[in-house]
Chain A
Amino acid sequence: MKKVTYLLPILFLLTGCWDQTMLNQTKLITAGGFDYTKDDKVIGTAAVPQAVAVEAGQSKVADLIFSSTGFTARQTRLRLDRKVTERLEASKNQVVVFGEKAAKKDIYHLLDVFYRDPKSALNAKLAVSKGRAADVISTKFEETKTSTGVGEYLRDSIISAEESATVPKENIQTICPLMFDPGQDFALPYLEPMGDKIKTVKVGGVALFNGHKMVGTIKEPLSVVYTMMTGESSTVFMSTTKKISNKKNQNVLNYATIKVQKNKRHFSVKVSPTGEISAQIKLKTKVVVTEYPPDKLSSPTEIEKLEKALSKRLSKDAQEVINRLQKMNSDPYGVGRKMIAFHYPTWKKLDWAKEYPKTKFTASIDVNIVDSGIIE
């Protein structure tokens, strides 16, 4: 007992490290951006909200944007820290934006710092911005004037795009294994800042990657077809508007809007005895017609006609997506992964990066209308 009375205070007082980090003595980063200067230095930009307590219980958040340069991402962060009072913390980071040029170089070099810090926010969204990331983060967007800061604004914009299936759902954690997978790539949201007077950001589509590098974009609305083919069975509002005829004199009558209820993907990769590789994605889609200006959807023949037109149109789009992916040499659907899994000897002999664009890759979408809205 006597020993314990001596040991207890020693245990508490003499252990050197104390990992206390006080919330009110830190500065939180809510959005981070990376660019490169012309001489290959990293420019790090961070949005740090300053909570200004206006009155008891009511506070206003004002974003302060800091940026600094350094040779690596970590160095820029350390230099940023020196520019602000208190300690910078990235544990509540909401979004990491790469400038298009930086993304085309290599994103892993910049992301490395996130994977090594146990406190970093792995669920932060990633995005590639048209132009410089610093510009996106430092823009005074219209919505940030009234609601919360830029980090939340960008994150919510991306989440809303994910819900409408414009972009696939990805974050820092989910892309990590894909970055190192030789058989599969990924795509990130592509942000386009818009407007002169009323400034907004638009999620304009997806930025495709090959390994660590960005290789191109697929813009909305084609990016919805891209997302459908990733195997995502449905999102909150997986929707797209397609032109299905040219015959009507009023342009608006040529279009139909569908909302996907459920996708079922059939994805196969085959190697013929002669060594020819062919991949095929077949998508069976149950859709709800949410808009069809010509109407008359009560008749089964009309529905069948529309189904056929949509299938034809969507299949064409799907093939277009595939062709573009092959041209960019980006493999987000994981044809290579299937090769590794099922045809390893063949795959081992190949230089996949060269072989993939030449692969016979086809896609088709079969539309089945299950509902046509509340009008009978």
Chain B
Amino acid sequence: MTFFKKPKKLKQIIASVQKEDKTETYNEVGESQIEQKQTIEDIVAQIKEPFASTEDLITQWIELPSDDSRVALLYIESIIDRKLIQDQILNPLFELSNEIGMDSLRKMGKLDLTKHTDMTMAQSLLLQSHTLVFTEDTACFYSVSTPVDTKRDITEPDNETILRGAHDGFIENLSINLALIRKRLKTPKLKVKYYRVGKETHTTIAVVYVDNIANPDYVNEVENRIKSIEADGIYAPGNLEESIEDRPFSFFPQMVSTERPDRVAANLMEGRIALVYDTSPTAHIMPVNFFTFYQSVDDYNNRWIIGSFFRLIRLFSFFIAIGLPAVYIATVSFHFEVIPFGLILLIKSSLEDIPYPPLFEAMLMELTIELIREASIRLPTRIGSTIAIVGGLVIGDAVVKAGLVSNLMIIIVAVTAIAAYIVPSNEMSAAVRILRFPFMIAAATMGFVGIVFGFMILLFHLCRLYTFGAPYFAPIAPLSLKDLKDSIIRAPFWVMNRRPQDLDAQKRSLDNQVRKWEKKS
């Protein structure tokens, strides 16, 4: 399979499927030419050989009534649509082939066939739901795309629901996914480049960006990284994410994964690059910064003051989710003099009979919450509610009554859990949930000093993190005051007239000539 080592040809291959004249150019590069004087049976057998014991590879022999010549149809039954074969090949063939040859039929456009002369293509075409047509003329063969329609409906992604705005989401079909993006960005500058990765899986990935906005350096970086992948299989977007992200040991996600086309479109217009996958509804957006994960489509559909308020709440929740259990542990085991007098007896009395240190108590409850969460993801909704009752009521209440965990701890853990799920991005939420454990340990060993150390290390890490060459902690470090207007808050639309600095877009200015109308007093 030579073309995997020379990925540039890939584009041509894909293009050739769509545009017929390119097939000819490819022909010159192709390595194994079909030897003359082979019979049609030889060719078919040769193609079938790698698929030896696959029973869903079907060969269909057709005798043309006109000149007694034979035509062989090859397809993989499970991934083609028989109706399409009937409509696109068999019907026109029987109607017209007694008068004129296949080639002329094709040229007349009666048959939607593509002519190939390179036999090495045959295998990959078969795997891409094409039906191959072999004729007595063994120097070439024809192909037609006959994919079976297994698309599900376009629905709103469950894990990224919003209140206002578009409710469509990506599905497991690349062309539909791209269509959803193109529908939103009707510009010729929207570029799509296909890559096929995985020696065996042949997963198709589309790199999508807006040509005159996205920085070519970042585009090249993304493309180079994808090209460099040599793996047997890329099964899930997660595989690819791990193959191309900058710091695989970091807790923080380095690309936004989303199932929302509107989110992808908005980010493309900012100058980011998106990866869209076949067979997966998840798209990845890169390069991103920390605050991208805290943006939601809802922010832009709400009035800007409200949107800003929610944005601030979310950022605040980051600190709660990471720090609250740690602060609690540090306070009750090191610095309880900071607790106001009115509260201290209350806290003390709820803690008095807890038989183990606060760290253990907090770990116990945090892990319980994670258990409940993990269990409720896997279970079907009907059993899920049972888990909610068992987890929420029984554990929450009984654990306190049994004196295993203090009342206050339950409150802390509950608030923390809610705060962690406020993040619109699932990966960031997971990162935050993991991060609180080191903070809890730091707080239990050194009190507030430990928490300060923890936040310092976190800050170092965030400042040093780069994704595809763009700074991760961007509007904060390096500081760009102007960019804070769409990261900390959500400034009104008419104020946003520059793209974020960290993305180094080719076109920095945004044409936002709105609110130019005259006000009638």
Whether A152 sits at the interface, judged by CB under 8 Å, is yes
CB pair B348–A24 under 8 Å, yes or no, is: yes
Q: Give, as a whole number of angstroms, the nearest-CB distance from B406 to chain A.
A: 9
Contact with A along B446-465 (1 / 0, CB 8 A): 01000000000000000000
A57's nearest neighbour on chain B, judged by CB, is B407
Contact with A along B338-368 (1 / 0, CB 8 A): 0101001111111111100110000000000
Whether A238 sits at the interface, judged by CB under 8 Å, is no
Among B336, B350, B401, max chain A CB count under 10 A is at B336
Q: A51-B348, A59-B345 are in contact. Are A92 and B337 (CB under 8 A)?
A: yes
Task: For the complex, give the distance between the alpha carbons of A28 and B344 in Å.
Answer: 9
Contact of B350 among A22, A59, A148 (CB under 8 A): A59
Whether B334 sits at the interface, judged by CB under 8 Å, is yes
Contact with A along B395-413 (1 / 0, CB 8 A): 0000011000001000000
Task: For the complex, give the distance between the alpha carbons of A212 and B467 in Å.
Answer: 67
Which B residues touch A20, using CB under 8 A?
Answer: 333-334, 447
Contact of A24 among B351, B401, B407 (CB under 8 A): B351
Which B residues touch A121, using CB under 8 A?
Answer: 337
Which A residues touch B334, using CB under 8 A?
Answer: 19-21
Q: Give, as a whole number of angstroms, the nearest-CB distance from B413 to chain A.
A: 16
Whether A94 sits at the interface, judged by CB under 8 Å, is yes
Whether B445 sits at the interface, judged by CB under 8 Å, is yes
Whether A61 sits at the interface, judged by CB under 8 Å, is yes
Whether B89 sits at the interface, judged by CB under 8 Å, is no
Tell me which residues from 1 to 44 in chain A have a Cβ below 8 Å from any Cβ of chain B: 12, 19-24, 26, 28, 30
Whether B420 sits at the interface, judged by CB under 8 Å, is no
Whether B269 sits at the interface, judged by CB under 8 Å, is no
CB pair B345–A61 under 8 Å, yes or no, is: yes
Task: For the complex, give the distance between the alpha carbons of A12 and B407 in Å.
Answer: 31
CB pair A12–B349 under 8 Å, yes or no, is: no
B355's nearest neighbour on chain A, judged by CB, is A24
Task: For the complex, give the distance between the alpha carbons of A119 and B336 in Å.
Answer: 10
Tell me which residues from 349 to 393 in chain B have a Cβ below 8 Å from any Cβ of chain A: 349-354, 357-358
CB pair A59–B337 under 8 Å, yes or no, is: no
CB pair A51–B352 under 8 Å, yes or no, is: yes
Contact of A152 among B341, B348, B351 (CB under 8 A): B341
Contact of B345 among A19, A51, A57 (CB under 8 A): A51
CB pair A24–B354 under 8 Å, yes or no, is: yes
Task: For the complex, give the distance between the alpha carbons of A223 and B447 in Å.
Answer: 46
Whether A56 sits at the interface, judged by CB under 8 Å, is yes
Whether B222 sits at the interface, judged by CB under 8 Å, is no
Whether B332 sits at the interface, judged by CB under 8 Å, is yes
Q: Give, as a whole number of angstroms, the nearest-CB distance from A28 to chain B.
A: 7
CB pair A56–B345 under 8 Å, yes or no, is: no
Q: Give, as a whole number of angstroms, the nearest-CB distance from B247 to chain A.
A: 16
CB pair B352–A53 under 8 Å, yes or no, is: yes
Which A residues touch B348, using CB under 8 A?
Answer: 23-24, 28, 51
Among A28, A119, A148, max chain B CB count under 10 A is at A28
B341's nearest neighbour on chain A, judged by CB, is A92
A59's nearest neighbour on chain B, judged by CB, is B349
CB pair A23–B349 under 8 Å, yes or no, is: no
CB pair A23–B400 under 8 Å, yes or no, is: no
Q: Give, as a whole number of angstroms, the nearest-CB distance from B326 to chain A.
A: 15
CB pair B336–A59 under 8 Å, yes or no, is: no
Total A-B Cβ pairs within 8 A: 66
CB pair A23–B401 under 8 Å, yes or no, is: no
Tell me which residues from 14 to 44 in chain B have a Cβ below 8 Å from any Cβ of chain A: none
Tell me which residues from 218 to 266 in chain B have a Cβ below 8 Å from any Cβ of chain A: none
Whether A374 sits at the interface, judged by CB under 8 Å, is no
CB pair B400–A59 under 8 Å, yes or no, is: no
Task: For the complex, give the distance between the alpha carbons of A61 and B407 in Å.
Answer: 17
CB pair A92–B344 under 8 Å, yes or no, is: yes
Q: A12-B445, A51-B352, A53-B352 are in contact. Are A91 and B336 (CB under 8 A)?
A: yes
Q: Give, as a whole number of angstroms, the nearest-CB distance from A330 to chain B.
A: 31
Task: For the complex, give the distance between the alpha carbons of A91 and B348 in Å.
Answer: 14
Whether A375 sits at the interface, judged by CB under 8 Å, is no
Q: Give, as a whole number of angstroms, the nearest-CB distance from A137 to chain B.
A: 17
CB pair B341–A24 under 8 Å, yes or no, is: no
Which A residues touch B353, using CB under 8 A?
Answer: 24, 53
Which B residues touch A30, using CB under 8 A?
Answer: 341
CB pair A22–B333 under 8 Å, yes or no, is: yes
CB pair B345–A23 under 8 Å, yes or no, is: no
Q: Give, as a whole number of angstroms, the nearest-CB distance from B303 to chain A.
A: 40
A152's nearest neighbour on chain B, judged by CB, is B341
Contact of A23 among B333, B341, B447 (CB under 8 A): B333
Task: For the complex, give the distance between the alpha carbons of A149 and B332 in Å.
Answer: 21
Whether A216 sits at the interface, judged by CB under 8 Å, is no
Task: For the complex, give the distance between the alpha carbons of A92 and B340 in Å.
Answer: 9
Among B339, B345, B350, B354, max chain A CB count under 10 A is at B345
Tell me which residues from 293 to 336 in chain B have a Cβ below 8 Å from any Cβ of chain A: 331-334, 336
CB pair B351–A23 under 8 Å, yes or no, is: yes
Task: For the complex, give the distance between the alpha carbons of A94 and B340 in Å.
Answer: 11
Whether A52 sits at the interface, judged by CB under 8 Å, is yes
Whether A205 sits at the interface, judged by CB under 8 Å, is no
Which B residues touch A91, using CB under 8 A?
Answer: 336-337
Whether A183 sits at the interface, judged by CB under 8 Å, is no
Task: For the complex, give the distance between the alpha carbons of A94 and B345 in Å.
Answer: 13
Whether A49 sits at the interface, judged by CB under 8 Å, is yes
Task: For the complex, give the distance between the alpha carbons of A57 and B401 in Å.
Answer: 10
Task: For the complex, give the distance between the alpha carbons of A28 and B336 in Å.
Answer: 10
CB pair A53–B332 under 8 Å, yes or no, is: no
Which A residues touch B331, using CB under 8 A?
Answer: 23
Which B residues touch A59, using CB under 8 A?
Answer: 345-346, 349-350
Contact with B along A86-103 (1 / 0, CB 8 A): 000001101000000000
B334's nearest neighbour on chain A, judged by CB, is A20
Q: A61-B345, A92-B341, A94-B341 are in contact. Are A53 and B333 (CB under 8 A)?
A: no
CB pair B332–A52 under 8 Å, yes or no, is: no
CB pair B349–A52 under 8 Å, yes or no, is: yes
Task: For the complex, give the distance between the alpha carbons of A38 and B347 in Å.
Answer: 41
Given contacts A22-B358, A59-B349, 12 further A-B contacts (CB under 8 A): A19-B447, A21-B336, A22-B333, A23-B332, A23-B348, A28-B344, A52-B349, A56-B407, A92-B336, A92-B341, A119-B337, A121-B337
A sample of 24 inter-chain contacts (CB < 8 A) reads: A19-B447, A22-B332, A22-B333, A23-B331, A23-B336, A24-B348, A24-B352, A28-B345, A49-B345, A51-B345, A51-B348, A51-B349, A53-B349, A53-B353, A59-B346, A61-B345, A61-B349, A91-B337, A92-B337, A92-B339, A92-B341, A119-B337, A149-B345, A152-B341
Q: Which residues of A contact B (CB under 8 A)?
A: 12, 19-24, 26, 28, 30, 49, 51-53, 56-57, 59, 61, 91-92, 94, 119, 121, 148-149, 152
Give the top 10 A-B pairs by smallest Cβ distance, nearest first: A51-B349, A59-B349, A91-B337, A24-B351, A23-B332, A23-B336, A22-B333, A53-B349, A51-B348, A56-B400
Q: Which residues of B contact A (CB under 8 A)?
A: 331-334, 336-337, 339, 341, 344-354, 357-358, 400-401, 407, 445, 447
